[in-house]
Structure 1
Amino acid sequence: MSTAHDWNWSVVENGFNMYIAEIGDSTDTEIQNAIYQAQSDFGEVESVLYLIANNTEAQKELVVDNLGLDWTSVYMPWLVVLEDHPKEVEEGDKAIVFRLGKLNAEQIKEVTNKLAVASHDADALQQLTWEQRKEEFKDKIPVLKETAKMVISVAGVA
């Protein structure tokens, strides 16, 4: 299990309803800037904590060991929506995964902007099943209508 120092927020205070973990990195400056802006946008949402791994092993542990996803087959970056801090996620837990690596910077901005807006309703999202949340994000984020199968999925096993 990852340790507290593996993520940029090592201590999780009460009051967060949703956690967004940034996974992977990009050498594309425009995409990196879009992700950096997303971090700032999510920082404005009181009920959401935006997390960045301090090392690759912590990312792999979350993605491979706990969510059961194939690390090597997907273009990075991802945003992983979780109910718990990554250090508290266990094998079989679920997440909604936004695979952003095949989107251009403008599409990433659209996804992250709308996701930040939707995150203001984190309390409401908690009442939905993972599939319902996925559909809710599709409805709120137009670019996902065309690319949803590639971009967004519910990960993890019950």
Structure 2
Amino acid sequence: MDKDYLLGLFRTQKNNYRLAYVLIALSSQDDVMDDFLHLYKNIDPKFKVIDGIEPLILDKKVLKIAVDQFHMTILRAVVKELFEVIKIYCKDTKQNNLLHSQSWYQLWRIIRNCFSHDFHFHFNNHDKKFLPISWNGVEIREDMDGKQMTIGHFSYEKLWALINEVEAFIETDLA
């Protein structure tokens, strides 16, 4: 993997996150969902391969749950996949020390682990060596062990800031 490929992966994941955000915004507007239903009724039948679309859209409570879960799925993919590819890239290019020295690295690693464990913090002895840890107003403390991570701990805006900071690190600091 070269640096351009790594940056391409970041940009793809950022676009996936943007699309999830668009879905959240659109699904929160009743008139947009009504317009969608009207369009969907007239869509070419070859695109109607999945049943249950209309009941999903019409049930606002179920739709909200589905959109929130979809968003968390995308969020999990973005955090986990991007962490893994930069880790591999830095190992392969012998830049691990540079990666590990970033102010956000340990926080991102712990957040990635949290996303891998159903959004709950589980700290091992290695993790505890870095706690408490903070970055950009986000703090992770040892008393959070076993607790569920919420948007209050790590907002969507903070995640977006982290992704952008890591992307800038790739562009400017990595060989």
Give the alignment's TM-score, normalised by structure 2: 0.23
Q: Which has the larger radius of gyration?
A: 2
User: Scaled by the length of structure 1, what TM-score is found?
Assistant: 0.25
Identify the structure with bigger relative contact order (alpha carbons < 8 Å, sequence gap 6+): 1
Name the one with the larger strand percent. 1
Q: Which has the higher helix share?
A: 2
